[in-house]
């Protein structure tokens, strides 16, 4: 039996990013949960700010096509999302928007978002742990892009104190929630035909 393939996308490329650290931990937990994991950085898929005129002139950028193909090659996608002004950050939103514009051959629209399962987590120094970013991201993915998003999600508040020196979550409840989220993601990703 093949292992479910899960892609991990940190929504921040900041040095020392809390969402980068949460993504790295998720990668470790996914491997322990018997998933085949790919961990990417949006820094490797630089994209201009979406501009419909530019798209009409030059088409969808190659990096958007690469990112779409990377998503499409996986059964599950886990995104860790920073919160900016009670919403998702522009780096992540811009990548999602560009990928939503990719249409290869005769495939239906939004192919990268359909046929796989998404799972969301966030970390923030604030006391809400980025939950408002996940609500906005859920709307974008589910309502905007037609994705199936797990109802469970994990938000890590006061992220500057949340990780120990090994990169694990110091709070046992939070660590358990992440493990549970990942187990569910792997279970559902394993059912993708």
Ligand X SMILES: Cc1cc2nc3c(=O)[nH]c(=O)nc-3n(C[C@H](O)[C@H](O)[C@H](O)COP(=O)(O)O)c2cc1C
**Which chain residues interact with ligand X by CB under 6 A?**
12, 14, 17-20, 82-86, 124-126, 128, 130
Q: Report the nearest approach of ligand X to the CB of residue 36 (Å).
A: 25
* CA dist., res. 141 & res. 114, Å (int): 10
Q: Report the nearest approach of ligand X to the CB of residue 85 (Å).
A: 5
According to DSSP, the β-strands at 117-123 and 76-80 are parallel
Q: Report the nearest approach of ligand X to the CB of residue 29 (Å).
A: 18
Contact 125, 158 (CB under 8 A): yes
| 86 or 109: CB nearest ligand X | 86
According to DSSP, the β-strands at 5-10 and 87-88 are unpaired
Q: Report the nearest approach of ligand X to the CB of residue 118 (Å).
A: 18
* CA dist., res. 132 & res. 182, Å (int): 21
Q: Report the nearest approach of ligand X to the CB of residue 23 (Å).
A: 9
| 131 or 147: CB nearest ligand X | 131
* CA dist., res. 159 & res. 80, Å (int): 13
Tokens representing 103 are 């249409």
Nearest residue to the partner ligand X, using Cβ? 126
| 22 or 67: CB nearest ligand X | 22
> Residue 76's closest CA among 170, 145, 152, 9?
9
| 126 or 144: CB nearest ligand X | 126
| 75 or 83: CB nearest ligand X | 83
Name the strands in the sheet holding 117-123, side by side, starting at the edge strand that comes first in the sequence: 36-39, 5-10, 76-80, 117-123, 148-156
Q: Report the nearest approach of ligand X to the CB of residue 123 (Å).
A: 6
| 58 or 170: CB nearest ligand X | 170
Phi and psi for 78 in degrees, rounded to 5?
A: -110, 125
* CA dist., res. 137 & res. 134, Å (int): 5
């Amino acid at each position: 039996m093949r292992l479910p393939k899960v892609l991990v996308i940190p929504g921040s490329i900041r040095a020392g990013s809390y969402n980068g650290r949460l993504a790295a931990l998720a990668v470790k937990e996914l491997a322990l949960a018997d998933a085949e994991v790919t961990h990417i950085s949006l820094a490797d898929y630089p994209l201009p700010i979406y501009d419909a005129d530019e798209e009409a002139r030059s088409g969808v950028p190659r990096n958007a096509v690469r990112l779409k193909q990377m998503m499409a090659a996986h059964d599950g996608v886990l995104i860790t999302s920073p919160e900016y002004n009670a919403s998702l950050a522009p780096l992540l939103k811009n990548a999602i928007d560009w990928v939503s514009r990719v249409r290869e051959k005769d495939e239906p629209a939004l192919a990268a978002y359909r046929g796989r399962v998404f799972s969301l987590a966030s970390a923030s120094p604030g006391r809400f742990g980025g939950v408002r970013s996940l609500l906005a991201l859920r709307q974008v993915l589910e309502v905007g892009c037609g994705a199936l998003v797990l109802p469970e999600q994990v938000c890590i508040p006061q992220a500057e104190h949340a990780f120990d020196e090994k990169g694990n979550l110091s709070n046992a409840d939070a660590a358990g929630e992440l493990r549970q989220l990942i187990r569910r993601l792997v279970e559902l990703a394993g059912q993708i035909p």
